[in-house]
Structure 1
Amino acid sequence: MRYFFLTFLLAGFFNLFGQTGNYFLSHFSPSEKKYDNVCFAMVQTEQGIMYFATRSGVLEFDGRNWNLIPGKGAIYSLQIDAAGDMYWAGADGYGKLEADDKGFLQLKTWSRPEVKDVYQCLVVKDKVYFLTDVALYMHKEETKPIRLPATTLSGSFTGMTELFGSIYLNTGQGILKADGDHLVATTLGFSNEDEILFSSAYQNMYIVGLANNKLYLCGEDLRPREMVLEDQPYITASVVVSGSWVNRDLLVLGTLRGGLIFIHAASGKTQEIINYSTGLPDNEVYALMNDKSQSIWLAHEYGFTRVSPYLPFRSFSHYDGLQGNLLCALSLGDQVYVGTSLGLYALQKEEVFEEVIHYDYVLKPAKKEVKKEAAPPLASPPAEETKPPVAEAQSKKKGFLWFLKRKRVESKPTTEGKADVAVTPVEPEATSPANTNPAAKPSYQRIKKVEKVLRSAHYVYKKVAGIDAKITSLEQVGDHLVAAGLGGAYEVTGLQAWPLVEEPVRSVFNAADEKMLFISTYKDEIRTMVLGEEGWQTSSILNPLDEPVIHIFKGAEHEFWLCGLDQVHRVEIENQQIKTIQSIPVNNPNFDGTAGIFRKNEVVAINSQGFFKYDRSRQTFVPIDTLAKPLRYFASDNDIWFRDAHRWNLFGQHPGQSNLDLLNLFSDLRFIASDQTSDNLWLITGNNELYKFFGEKFTPYEPGYPLLLKSVRNDNRKVSRAGLMELDQEKSSVSFEIVQPDYLGSESVEYRYQLFGLEKGWSEWSSSYNIVDFPYLPAGEYTLMAQAKDIFGKVQDLPPVKFEVLPPYWKRPWFYAMEFALFASLVLLSFRLSTRYRFISRILSLLTIILLIQFIQTAIGETFETRTSPVKDFFVQVLVAFLILPVEGYLRKLMLRSLGAQTALHRFVSPKPPVAVEEKQEEN
């Protein structure tokens, strides 16, 4: 509800300009060849992630990266419930997408092995429905499915749709309602020949599309009302295959051969047609979806396109007739002029019709039966057409998925018209009484009809006569236009141009108050022309300035500034006469073009070195240190548009422009100019697109999706994102991939990060920091913090990611405990051996002292490790060695003294026998 008012205003505003300019399109396509662009369905999660059902599996897209969730066969349908759970239906059955033990989605199968070719699924409240041509399966969590089979009376199921919580099925007996485990007749009022292609809900109203290309509005009374469409012939010829609400006032139709058709819901008038002539790569729409930003996604042969009806951009580069590289643009009243590398073009209204061929089937009048004797025919007569009028519409009903939605029967192709459409004959039912008598079988004749249908492009570009060279500058002079380029300067009225200067011109500037025109030529001359009763007359020529003048702007009263490469020339004019010329140097070592404006009684110049303010007392340009150096810049009227390392900025008369952030969609703009009649802008992008930007009017609704941790890789292997991660120090190379889903300016989203436990501050903002790499991390506990900033400046925080890098096993507590136990065992052993094996005991004692000292040194060194520099760590270890040196000497003396005391005590208690006794014992 909170966006209704904005939507209404946007619709009303753009309808005023709906005849000129096309909706903003964004194109997406997987770069890897292993991904399949044939898409059957699309869904979007609450986190903003897009999922596409393709022949290779489920394709995941976050605005930057593509990821394939493989399946055993093609996936035909995807649905998502209120809890965010996704369900799939495909060639190998149906099931649910569930996360594995590492947090990555996988396709889990629910169906039995014999269930195949499930071509549709729907989520209605707490139930999920899956449809094949022979059965409908209804699932609840942790319960057995209910199977509703097709019968001989109903015929095959060819599709299902939902209306106010009920499921309706297309069958051979018409549209039936699924009520529990059986089918019942409906009260929708459609005939048995009608078939529902799609339904789309918006609050308490549904839009229902039938196979005969008719649209109906259905309320809670379940009484559909047919919509009267302004361009019904074009819609019928284009063959409707899908549709959806955009918002309360706008709905969209996807067609088989006419692209997208946007229709005003209340009046039925066509608002916009998006097809090949307006920037769509292909006119055949596979599937479409309305996302959370009131934009339409459609799938086609070359990938995916996102159409943004309410984004305040209108494209002017896809009308017929425009040729060459686009260089400049300007509005003169209701007329749009575009200068290109091949000349000057004007946008003209022109009604263009095309002939659309289609066929109707008319019931033949009954013939009286005349009895004749049978005779062998000389030649086989042509077979009569027996196809009813609805059959052709049925054959087109579901686009390229029709082969899954009814039993295979032989089809008859037709080659007339713009597209080949399969025609499936409808066999009469064997049980029908009318079919028991061959004489009662109705026959139809095929009638060819040709209709003229108004094409989507109501406007075309026409070349202005008299200009056959590049046009680089346009200037409004009163009610006329002055165009300048390599052929000279021309005065333009309508589609005709008259030369003012017939030599190459860099730029022109209209001094309206002085009724003068400044023309900068390639000879580094400034020609001035005065407007008199007989038109423009040459007044004078400034002395050669020995440098090209690219930009001219007006300063204070009677003051004009001519921007050269390393000088800016101040010119004073009174009574249409040049009084003084003053040249002021400006810092420009790279010889980039200098531009400038007059703002708040100050003259400001700009080039690649930054901004400069003119100091009148010192008569010099002083740098403005508070503004960053620009990477790109454009000056128009009293505004300077410039881009720094992060975003576009405005310095001029309108610093509070509300939608300025939307310019960050384009990092490669090569032309910006204010519209002469409004506060809007003309933009030309690096890929030769021309847009009109309604910067002061409305702010589009673009929700900021949360920042997500997409994957974690340790030693090039994916690891679990759940719980506390533990990494081995020997393999501590870790990479975090984070993403904020964005489909408007994904490449312009910037990221920064901070790792607590290693770094003290945040990193710089960068669009490349969506992947954070740490080639090596010392042992310890860490916490990763990250932020993302979109083109609107909105910052999203990533929930803290905690992980631990485990030291090698010889540095872990359990290993220290084992070492201590070993040392204690050695000490005890040395004491026990000291009575008989003094030499071995001393060796064990010394070894124990060495190991114990090494143990103490290692423990202290790990405790006081700096983790900042190997040199610092080395000096810390040396210091620790000197500190424990006295401890080593004390332990050595203590243990040796203990061993000596034990030896003396042993001798005192057990003295040696006399020598004579020992000798006697040896003799014996």
Structure 2
Amino acid sequence: MRHIFLLASLLVFFQTYSQTGNYFLSHYSPGKEERSSNVCFDMVQDDRGVMYFATRSGVLEFDGRNWDLISGNGAVYSLQLNKQKEIYWSGTGGYGKIDTNVPGDHKLKTLSAAGVGDVFQNLFSNDKLYFVSEQAIYIEHKSQPAVIIKSSNLTGTFRNVFELFGSVYINTQRGGIFKISDDKLLSATLGLPKDAEVTFSSGLNNFYVLGLSNNKIFITGEDLRMKEIKLQDQAYADASVVVNGSWVNRDLFVLGTLRGGMIFVQSGSGNTQEIVNYNTGLPDNEVYDLMLDKSLCIWSAHEYGFTRVAPYLPFRSFSHYNGLAGNLLCALSFEGREYVGTSLGLFKLEKEEVYEEITYYIDVEVKEKVPQQANNAKASASDSKQTIEPTPRQQESKKRGFLQFFRRGRENSKNSAAEKKEDIASTKDNTSKSLQKTSRSVKKVERVLRSSQYVYKKIQGVDAKVTQLFEYNGKLIAAGLAGAFEINGLVARPIVEEPVLTGYASSNLNVLLFSTYASEVRAFQLTADDKWQPLNFLENVDDHIDAIVDGVGQELWLCALDKAYRLDIADGQVKNIQTIVIDNPAFNTISCIRLNNEVILASGQGFQRFDRKKNSFERIDSLTKPIHYFSDGQNILYNDKHTWNLLGKAHGQSNLQLLNLFQNLRFVSIDHEAENLWLITETNELYKFFGEKFTPYEAGNEPLLRTVRNNDAKVDLLNFEVEENKSALTFEVVQPDYLAPQAIEYRYRLKGLDKDWSDWATSNSIVNYPYLPSDDYTLMVQSRDIFGKVHALPDVVFEVLPPYWQRPWFYALEFLVFSGLVLLSFRLSNRYRIISRLLSLLTIIMLIQFIQTVASSAFETKESPVTDFFMQVVVAFLILPVEGYLRNLMLRSIDTSSRFYRFLEPKPGNASRGKEEQ
């Protein structure tokens, strides 16, 4: 609730401003292998944050970075989550659920009986799952057999199923709306127009919003009293055809249309908050489906993929208003108006009501008097004509995929109603002429207000690249290749009529300064009669000046690529010029500011501070080297590889980590009128960032183990064991994120091998170990999003098995073999003394080798083969006395055993004497 309240407050805040810009959009499109068709029928997000899309080829799975296609038997039309967070599907192959037990190997499991097909929708309510086809409703409840409700002549074919406060309703072709109660159909009255069907319903807290097939919108509470919302742009909705919708929060809902993109509507007043269509950045105006995700963002499916709309995000786009041309270079707010400099000149955003004409077709009923005997023939011909040659209205409004069920049902309903009326007329008068109602497609043209009421208008007199905009004494100054200009409304007054490299408004000297491409610095002062008077006190400067900044008192700094000039100025004249060398061997662009009476420079080499005692620039070790840096003369915004920081007067700027949304920015500047930021991306998008007002809400998801590979083969994570000779393992981890997935950083540690954690890096989502010695391991991975929140992957415990000759069972087998050899040598010691000795020696050698192998594996360092070799030598020296002892012991035992056996054997003389005695 707290987050919803913040979102509502943010939307109210933006509404109070005139030119708020357009919502922030993120676009996603699957790869070629997964994209056999971009037609999406339904969307759902599981509890882990992973997105699933129902398509013609199966179910697309998306985690913010990776696309996976879970193919099945035909198209999938609908997806639904139950209380256990299991995902159920329905489609041409029946219905079932997605088996997600094995990471990286998800499958579509079929639950429907053989012969069940073309199930176009499913719904979960009160522990029951409802699967709907045109001819039957299948109700699944726990492990009980499915209950089947079949269509009848009363109902006709089944249509859209929807839910209101735990009760399930279904549209039918002939009978209107029925309620499904106790697995039976009951007639229901919801107080809705009888000639319209419910195309969507969306619930939030104690309210539901419903959309009808006639483009009307209703809201109801638990008392089921339907209240129609009078849309401010009802004409736009009618012309665009509303096909789906969803709540955003209690004060805002969104409508998806067939031809006009998305309409964000305030629930209390029906006023349009925003229209997101092609004119405002949406790739296509035909919206297949809508969904609200865990982060309160709206997903829309269209022909070119998927677009995520973030209404809460404190970014607003200003690059989609009409009239803007060229590559965007700079932007500034001045006196409540936005100015943008481009490669083609300077543009101002002004209010102007722009209308467009939308052409569409509607079906109009026409009464015709026809003979009775011709009614049936004409009706048949009409039906045949509708079947073979669809009207333009049918062609235009036909929704590919899922919505074709709605359209087909409506046409059948109209035909059925016409037939009933003909039968009634025929009964009343069999001989006279009757009135027959027929429909005719009529072309209509609506003049509809566009989503944007503002357009960019070009400033007259500025016809070349504008690279800089700043304010001087209440006047807007633009500088670039055409020179420098004072801007008054839509007219520019020239100040310098030669290409300007950079401009600066000196508050200490109260002058305007411009460095030119001719390596000159020009100074101007505004006179009492509002004229620009040139000053000549900087005529001796002859260098390529990148940046200008005020120093202490009457001090002025001019910064070139490899040196800086410190000028002491008094009474409008330069009294002293000092040249200081700058450490900038790569000749990176120099930015400079004055902070706490210190002059600070920024370049690709890092930050440098002017040390007045040493009279030189010294490195600031506490600040890392910037990857990207921008300066507006008073502040330096820079990226240190991990996040964005600000150095300067506006040091308290908040939420700068949100700039990590963009991988490459080519312009960042503080809008000093409201302390907001202007951003220009590499893709030529212009955004205004209201970072100091709100902290955006974004649900952080835990990282997931996407897959584990052993060389090229997937590893079964349910029985995770690998052999040492095949221990090349690659772990792929991902945190589902759709705000800035490319900025998620990871670090890892393999317990049992690594002593410390790795560094944070975006590339650490893939952990690769070419070889792992035998041992027990635990992989630990952490992720960090752009807000600095750290999430941990559940520990991955696995074992690398040693070779079979180093396993306990093999040691036990060796012991049994040694014992058998010793016993055998004892048995053979009497008659086969030489063989016994050889067996004893072999046993001793094998036993010593066994002891050495066990000892070496126990003392193995796993750090260096040289160290392990010396350890083996030490073990060998330690075993040497044992070897001698065992050899002497066994040989002595063999000799003793041999004498014992000889003693027991009878002597030759004793044997003959015994015989004689016998």
Q: Which TM class, normalised by the smaller chain length? A: over 0.9
Query: Which residue among 472, 475, 486 is the counterpart of 2:470?
Result: 475
RMSD, matched Cα: 2.9
> What is the TM-score normalised by the length of structure 2?
0.93
Residue type matched to 2:743 in 1?
S
Cα displacement (A) at 1:774 = 1.3
Q: CA deviation at 1:901?
A: 3.0
Counterpart position of 1:280 = 282
How much does 1:907 deviate?
A: 4.2
Per-residue CA distance 1:70-90 (angstroms, 9 max, x = gap): 111110000012221111110
Contact 1:734/1:775 (8 A) holds in 2:
yes
Equivalence for 1:564 = 560
Match of 1:717 among 696, 702, 713: 713
Paired with 2:880 and 2:653, the residues of 1 have a C-alpha distance of 72
Secondary structure in 1 aligned to 2:2?
A: coil
Give the aligned partner of residue 581 of structure 2. Answer: 585
2:625 to 613, 629, 635: 629
State the one-letter code of the partner of 1:329.
Answer: A
The residue aligned with 2:378 is none
SS at match of 1:606: strand
Partner of 1:460: 455
Match of 2:152 in 1: 151
Instruction: Give the structure 2 partner of residue 436 of structure 1.
Output: 426
Q: For 2:699 and 2:603, locate their aligned partners in 1 and report how far apart those are by CA, in whole Å.
A: 36
8 Å Cα contact 1:103/1:721 also seen in 2: no
1:203 aligned to 184, 200, 205, which one?
A: 205
Which position in structure 1 is the counterpart of 2:93? 92
Tell whether 2:13 aligns with 1:13: yes
Moved more, 287-296 or 473-482: 473-482
The residue that corresponds to 2:809 in the other structure is: 814
Deviation at 1:433, TM superposition (A): 4.5
**2: distance between equivalents of 1:125 and 1:579?**
86
Query: Is it true that 1:831 corresponds to 2:826 in the alignment?
Result: yes
Give the C-alpha shift of residue 493 in structure 1. 1.6
Over residues 607-631 of structure 1, what are the superposed CA-to-partner deviations in whole Å (9 max), with x where a residue is unaligned? 1111111112222211111111111
Higher helix content, 1 or 2:
2
Q: Are residues 1:615 and 2:617 paired?
A: no
Distance 1:794 1:276 in 2: 35
Task: Tell me if structure 1 keeps the 8 A contact 2:103–2:707.
Answer: no
The DSSP-based 3-state class of the residue aligned with 1:441 is strand
Partner of 1:113: 114
Sort the Cα spacing of 1:143 and 1:291 in 2 relative to 1 into closer, same or farther, 3 A.
same
Quote the sequence identity (%).
53
Counterpart contact for 1:396–1:402, Cα < 8 Å: no
Q: SS where residue 768 of structure 1 aligns?
A: helix
**2:217 corresponding residue in structure 1:** 215
5 Å-filtered alignment, 1:296-695, equals: 296-364=298-366, 396=397, 400-405=401-406, 428-430=418-420, 433-434=423-424, 436=426, 439-444=434-439, 447-512=442-507, 514-532=509-527, 533-540=529-536, 542-543=538-539, 545-695=541-691
Letter in 1 for 2:707: S
1:32 is matched with 32
The DSSP-based 3-state class of the residue aligned with 1:442 is strand
Task: Check conservation: 1:385, 1:443, Cα contact below 8 A.
Answer: no
State how far apart, in whole Å, the 1-side matches of 2:382 and 2:843 are.
Answer: 113
Contact 1:385 1:445 in 2 (8 A): no
SS at match of 1:509: strand
Q: Is the 8 A contact 1:362 1:447 kept in 2?
A: yes
Matched, 1:758 2:753: yes
Distance change (3 Å), C-alpha of 1:703 and 1:309: same
Q: One-letter code of the match for 1:889?
A: G
| Distance in 1 (alpha carbons) for counterparts of 2:514 and 2:104 | 66
Question: How far, CA to CA, are the matches of 1:887 and 1:371 in structure 2?
Answer: 119
Match of 1:705 among 690, 701, 718: 701
Corresponding residue SS for 1:234:
helix
Which residue of structure 1 lines up, in the alignment, with residue 57 of structure 2? 56
Cα deviation, residue 252, structure 1 = 0.4
- Structure 2 contact 367–437 (Cα < 8 Å) conserved: no
Query: 1:429·1:435 contact (CA, 8 Å) conserved in 2?
Result: no
TM-score (norm 1): 0.92
What is the Cα deviation at residue 711 of structure 1? Answer: 2.0
Assess, with a 3 A threshold, how the Cα gap between structure 1 residues 450 and 850 changes in structure 2: closer, same or farther. Answer: same
The C-alpha deviation readout for 1:149-175, integer Å capped at 9, x for no partner, is: 111111111211111111211112222
- Note closer, same or farther for the CA distance 1:385–1:393 as it changes in structure 2 (3 Å cut): closer
Residues 91 and 119, structure 1, Cα contact 8 Å, conserved in 2: yes
Alpha-carbon separation, structure 2, partners of 1:860 and 1:150: 78
Q: Report if the CA contact (8 A) 2:422-2:436 is conserved.
A: no
TM superposition shift of 1:179? 2.4
Deviations 1:834-887 (A, max 9, x none): 111112111111111110111010000010011112222122112211221121
Taking a change above 3 Å as real, the CA distance of residues 50 and 501 of structure 1, as seen in their structure-2 partners, is same
Shift of 1:478: 3.2
* 1:913–1:854 distance in 2 versus 1, CA, 3 Å: same
**C-alpha displacement at 1:431, in angstroms?**
8.6
Tell me the alpha carbon deviations over residues 636-677 of structure 1, each in whole angstroms, 9 at most, x when there is no partner.
243211111212111223333321110111231111111130
For residue 867 of structure 2, the aligned residue among 869, 872, 880 is 872
Cα distance in structure 1, aligned partners of 2:364 and 2:762: 63
Q: CA deviation at 1:487?
A: 2.0
CA contact (8 A) 1:358 1:449 kept: yes
Q: Which range is displaced more, 207-216 or 597-606?
A: 597-606
Question: Where in structure 2 are there 5+ consecutive unaligned residues?
Answer: 375-380, 428-432, 913-918
Q: Deviations over 1:434-470 (max 9, x none)?
A: 2535713224555443221111122222222212221
CA distance in 2, matches of 1:530, 1:442: 81
The AA in structure 1 aligned to 2:306 is: F
Equivalent position SS for 1:436: helix
Counterpart for residue 123 of structure 1: 124
Gaps of 5+ in 1: 374-379, 412-422, 918-924
- In structure 1, what is the Cα distance between the partners aligned to 2:619 and 2:509? 31
1:22 aligns with 22
Q: 2:497 & 2:332 partners in 1: Cα distance? A: 22
Summarize deviations over 1:754-782 as a string: whole Å, max 9, x none: 11111110000010111111111111111
* Secondary structure of the corresponding residue to residue 670 of structure 1: strand
Deviation at 1:280, TM superposition (A): 0.8
Q: Distance in 2 between matches of 1:119 and 1:884?
A: 76
Contact 2:589–2:603 (8 Å) recurs in 1: yes
Change in CA separation of 1:681 and 1:353 when aligned onto 2, cut-off 3 Å: same
Structure-2 residue corresponding to 1:747 = 742
Q: Indicate if the aligned counterparts of 2:38 and 2:303 stay in contact, CA closer than 8 A.
A: yes
Distance 1:11 1:465 in 2: 35
Alignment match, 2:430:
none
Partner Cα separation in structure 2 for residue 656 and residue 10 of structure 1? 20
**Could you tell me whether the CA contact under 8 Å between 2:460 and 2:491 is conserved in 1?**
yes
Distance 1:847 1:443, change over 3 A: closer
**1:113 CA drift (Å):** 1.8
Partner of 2:72: 71
Query: Which residue in the other structure is 2:788 paired with?
Result: 793
Preserved CA contact (<8 Å) 1:103 1:720: no
**Match of 2:536, SS?**
strand
